[in-house]
A and B are shown apart, each in its own frame.
Chain A
Amino acid sequence: MTTAVPTADERIAPVGVLRRLLVRPELGAVVGAIAVFTFFASLSPVFRSVEGIANWLDPASTLGVMAVAVALLMIGGEFDLSAGVLTGTSGLTLAMLSAVYGWNIWSAMLVGLVLALAIGLFNGMMVIRTKLPSFIVTLGTMLMLMGINLGVTKAVTGSVQIGGIADAPGYDLARRMFAQTIPFLGVEFRVAIFWWLGVTAIATWVLLRTKAGNWIFASGGNAPAARSVGVPVARTKIALFMTTAFAAWLVGSILALRLTSVQANTGINQEFIYIIAAVIGGCLLTGGYGSAIGAAIGALIFGMADKGIIFAGWDSDWFKFFLGVMLVLATLTNHMVRRFAEEKRK
């Protein structure tokens, strides 16, 4: 790309403004979200109604919480393929302890949280210690968890599903916090939407306004350089794996409390959707660049497409095709943006 503007001073502002706008990682996602909304809104009046919005915000929310956490991890230069299945593991732990063993919901959730964080810690330690690509390490974790989810569930309950969470003590309060709906403009909105907004806001603040955020960018951007100026890269990355695990626990618990039962195969194949949402939101696969808001918008595009195709009266088989197009377009945009940002190097 040429920035050569044949005027007196190459430092003139317009170039800077243009670059600053283009360099925003979430630009592609914002443009994409507007396009997708306009598209489906013009096809379906239900889609643009308040009911419709509440409807498509729901899948966006649980996905969004995960996409934001995965985006932080990707900016930090790592992947977590076990995140999807871990939502299942957390939900199953909650369901098993509360429904099968009669525990209080809150104690069951606490154990689920500790377990999820331990798995996140394990992923992080393995990646740091072995220096293997996180893609492989977490792929291993994912497969192990898939086996455990199915094996343990079957061994304990004799089926591939655990139900009856609603009967456990403490359910009502937990449901109110994680799984109820809130009326707004005469329509019931899922409380998960607020968790999604909250998680996105906190993640954005951490990323852009704290020390830790600077370290995340640096760890993913160039780990040896970061280490040489004193950034605790190992600690940062392990914390990111644990953050992803925390998000998986949150989403797993939300879904378990909402459905009051958990399938042993919950979360399988979701991990790539999180990564796709993060990439649509401007995260580079190579790390060091991206945005939490972008990932949240990536999840929004997802929710809109997921429900929009149904509202438009199409065969939902087309969803995957749509996804593929979005992913390629977003990645191309990001690639060009990065080239632009990095041009003039040396």
Chain B
Amino acid sequence: MSTETTPQPGGAGAPLLEVRDIAKYFGSVIAVQAISTTVRAGEVTCVLGDNGAGKSTLIKILSGVHQHDAGQFLVDGAPVRFGSPRAALDRGIATVYQDLAMIPLMSIWRNFFLGSEPTRGWGPLKRFDVEFAKRVCRQNLLDMGIDIRDPEQPVGTLSGGERQSVAIARAVYFGARVLILDEPTSALGVKQAGVVLKYIVRARDRGLGVVLITHNPHHAYPVGDRFLVLKRGRSLGEWAKPDISRDELTQMMAGGAELEQLGHELERDAEDSELAAVAREVGQDAKDLGIAP
């Protein structure tokens, strides 16, 4: 597919974060290779790809979980190599993971400040400023438009969308400049996903650079400013929004040609009518996407 080089999208100044031809190997396995992208303030960079495309590896490099083996990783124009997620956080790169963003048995306010607890007093009397934590947690959630019933509630009682939203509000509060979201909408229903997308837009409007990892082009397209599509550890290209349509993006994601191929294969193998119906449907999908003639 396209090897087109990155078009510079309009607006926004110097990139907050940039990777150039980055690669990561696990033994003999090439997890990602030759990936380049930039993240700018007030922009949403979407990283799309199917399972195994290397999305997770890429964000783990960005968030300091893994270290890259080749290429360059720049923050504010200077090369970096994070030793831990903490190091990335200290540079303002916050990651919200799909499943492990929160501790279910802990209350919302404890989760909100986990790892960055505000303290008062000093010496042996240095303590967690609980009143401040509760007040600020509640206020910040409200500012993001998240109306929780009670900050004392265990996070486990929140819905998936609410949890993602709390995690996003937390990252925003802690001065994240780059917010990396790992499949924030994948486990959610349509309505919940919409809520999360709304907070993503809100974070962007506050001037954060957002990296949205998803395999769903329908979630990525409405909020994204640029789209990096990965496949089997390599980049299929990066496009600014004006340069690609939703259908083109979907087609690329679905692996248009492969979908068509699958349709033919199914048809060939179709012995019972049920399978044939599936084959027809897949073929029709391919046609709708403008792949098949």
User: A interface vs B, CB < 8 Å?
Assistant: 11, 16, 19-20, 23, 205, 208-211, 213-214, 217-218, 221-222, 224-231, 284, 288-289, 338, 341-346
Contact = CB atoms under 8 A, between A and B. Distances in A.
Nearest to B90: A230
B89 A230 contact: yes
Given A221-B105, A342-B157, A228 B128 contact: no
B154 A230 contact: no
A279 to B, nearest CB: 16
A32 B127 CA distance: 32
Count chain B CB atoms within 10 A of each CB in A209, A225, A228, A231 and give the residue with the most. Answer: A228
A162 B119 CA distance: 48
Given A342-B105, A346-B160, A217 B110 contact: yes
Nearest to B116: A230
Contacts of A205: 127
B85 A230 contact: yes
Q: Which 8 A-B pairs have the closest CB atoms?
A: A230-B115, A229-B115, A221-B103, A225-B100, A342-B156, A211-B117, A230-B86, A222-B103
Count chain A CB atoms within 10 A of each CB in B89, B97, B115, B150 and give the residue with the most. Answer: B115
B140 to A, nearest CB: 16
Given A228-B85, A288-B105, A346-B159, A210 B114 contact: no
B126 A288 contact: no
Interface in B126-163: 126-128, 130, 149-150, 152-154, 156-160
B154 A23 contact: yes
A98 to B, nearest CB: 30
Contacts of B153: 19
Nearest to B152: A20
Given A217-B103, A228-B85, A230-B86, A210 B149 contact: no
Given A221-B106, A288-B106, A345-B157, 10 more contacts: A19-B153, A214-B128, A217-B106, A218-B114, A218-B115, A225-B103, A227-B85, A228-B65, A230-B89, A345-B104
Contacts of A230: 85-86, 89, 115-116
Interface string B79-94: 0000001100100000
Contacts of A214: 106, 110, 113-114, 117, 128
Contacts of A288: 103, 105-106
